[in-house]
């Protein structure tokens, strides 16, 4: 278990760096996690994906699949991979402070 | 001496944990259950930021043909996994029924139909290739293929593209 410190508050994370308690998430934490994941700047397009992931997780209890992300987030698949080259679903979940998506799709 | 051994073990561990950076997946079977695993693996690779090439050979080439991609069926005969007596599997319409049932199941898991899946992989930056020998064997032309196909490769070109990749045959 590791922690990330933002604004003097330590937030708990799992061994892969995902937040353990999604309710502790703040936009500042998102910035921090994005930098750490190789995304130098979180644009409004990034945030659109991150917020969509987060909202879906908080309302349904599971993160959406990449297919749903492409169809319903308002950001098409090609752009998702330009925004998050190392894996849109995984990184948007991490930056959004929700657990790592468990699905294969 | 023990230092050297420790160092060697440490190096071995690090090499063993070297992450996969690229996969080249060969899909060789033309049934629904022969095609999906490779698609799921390719898409799964892209989702992890791993480069993925798909190479369709023999009957799997049906998945890239405009006239066949939406007609791919589950094999109900010669497929022990179906747990169905051969004669029942051979009843007309059985393959259609099994395909429909499986399609519904896949949809429930948010797994797209084959053509949409290929589009997804293509848009994700995965590459889709057909096998040159098979194309010649079936006498196919460029216009026979869906637009997501990036090209037709010889085996040699496939290996050349696969430099540094893990090759997976399905």
- pLDDT tens digit sequence for B23-47: 999 999 999 999 999 999 999 999 9
Q: Looking at the domain assignment, is residue A78 inside a domain?
A: yes
Q: Among A7, A61, A102, A104, which one carries the catalytic annotation?
A: A104
Residues of B in contact with A105 (CB under 8 A): 40, 43-44, 109-111
Q: Looking at the domain assignment, is residue A102 inside a domain?
A: no
pLDDT score recorded for residue A20: 92
Q: Looking at the domain assignment, is residue B12 inside a domain?
A: no
Q: Looking at the domain assignment, is residue B11 inside a domain?
A: no
Question: Domain limits at B51?
Answer: 23-169
Q: Looking at the domain assignment, is residue B157 inside a domain?
A: yes
The verdict on B46 touching A (C-beta cutoff 8 Å) is: yes
A104 is catalytic: yes
Q: Looking at the domain assignment, is residue B9 inside a domain?
A: no
Q: Looking at the domain assignment, is residue A9 inside a domain?
A: yes
Closest CA to B48 of A66, A55, A31, A50: A66
> Quick one: angle between helices B32-47 and B114-123, nearest 10?
20
B62 within 8 A of B68, measured Cβ to Cβ: yes
B123 within 8 A of A76, measured Cβ to Cβ: yes
DSSP one-letter code for A62: S
Q: Looking at the domain assignment, is residue A42 inside a domain?
A: yes
Torsion sign (Cα): A76, A78, B150, B34: negative
* Tens-digit pLDDT string for chain A (105 aa): 677 777 677 889 999 999 999 999 999 999 999 999 999 999 999 999 999 999 999 999 999 999 999 999 999 999 999 999 999 999 999 999 999 998 888
Residues of A in contact with B40 (CB under 8 A): 104-105
A69 within 8 A of A49, measured Cβ to Cβ: yes
Half-sphere exposure (Cβ direction) of B43: Cα atoms closer than 13 Å:
25
Q: Looking at the domain assignment, is residue A6 inside a domain?
A: yes
Domain count, chain B: 1
> Quick one: angle between helices B32-47 and B94-108, nearest 10?
20
* A9/chain B closest Cα distance in angstroms: 30
Supply the CATH number for residue B145's domain. Answer: 3.40.1260.10
pLDDT score recorded for residue B14: 66
Q: How many CB pairs under 8 A join A and B?
A: 44
pLDDT score recorded for residue B15: 66
> Chain A residue closest to B42 (CA)?
A105
Task: Say whether B40 and A78 touch across the interface (CB within 8 A).
Answer: no
Task: Say whether A65 and B43 touch across the interface (CB within 8 A).
Answer: no
Q: Is the pTM above the cut of 0.80?
A: yes
Q: Looking at the domain assignment, is residue B165 inside a domain?
A: yes
With 0-12 / 13-18 / 19 or more C-beta atoms within 10 angstroms meaning exposed / middle / buried, residue B88 is exposed
Q: Looking at the domain assignment, is residue B82 inside a domain?
A: yes
Task: Say whether B125 and A105 touch across the interface (CB within 8 A).
Answer: no
pLDDT score recorded for residue A6: 74
């Amino acid at each position: 278990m590791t922690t990330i410190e933002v604004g003097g508050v330590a937030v708990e994370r799992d061994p892969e760096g995902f937040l353990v308690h999604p309710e502790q998430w703040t936009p500042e934490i998102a910035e921090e996690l994005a930098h750490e994941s190789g995304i130098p700047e979180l644009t409004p397009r990034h945030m659109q994906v991150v917020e969509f992931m987060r909202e879906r997780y908080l309302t349904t209890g599971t993160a959406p699949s990449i297919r749903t992300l492409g169809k319903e987030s308002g950001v098409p698949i090609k752009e998702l991979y330009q925004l998050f080259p190392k894996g849109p679903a995984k990184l948007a979940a991490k930056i959004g402070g929700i657990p790592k998506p468990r699905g294969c799709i | 001496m023990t230092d050297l051994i420790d160092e060697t073990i440490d190096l071995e561990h690090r090499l063993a944990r070297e992450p996969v950076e690229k996969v080249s997946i060969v899909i060789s079977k033309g049934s629904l259950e022969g095609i999906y695993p490779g698609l799921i693996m390719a898409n799964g690779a892209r989702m992890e930021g791993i480069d993925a090439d798909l190479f369709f050979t023999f009957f799997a080439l049906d998945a890239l043909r405009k006239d066949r991609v939406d007609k791919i069926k589950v094999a109900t005969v010669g497929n022990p996994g179906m747990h169905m007596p051969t004669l029942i599997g051979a009843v007309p319409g059985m393959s259609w029924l099994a395909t429909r049932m499986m399609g519904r199941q896949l949809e429930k898991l948010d797994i797209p139909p084959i053509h949409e899946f290929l589009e997804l992989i293509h848009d994700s930056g995965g590459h889709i290739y057909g096998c040159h020998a098979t194309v010649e064997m079936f006498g196919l032309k460029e216009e026979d293929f869906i637009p997501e196909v990036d090209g037709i490769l010889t085996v040699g070109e496939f290996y050349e593209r696969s430099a540094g990749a893990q090759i997976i045959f399905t």
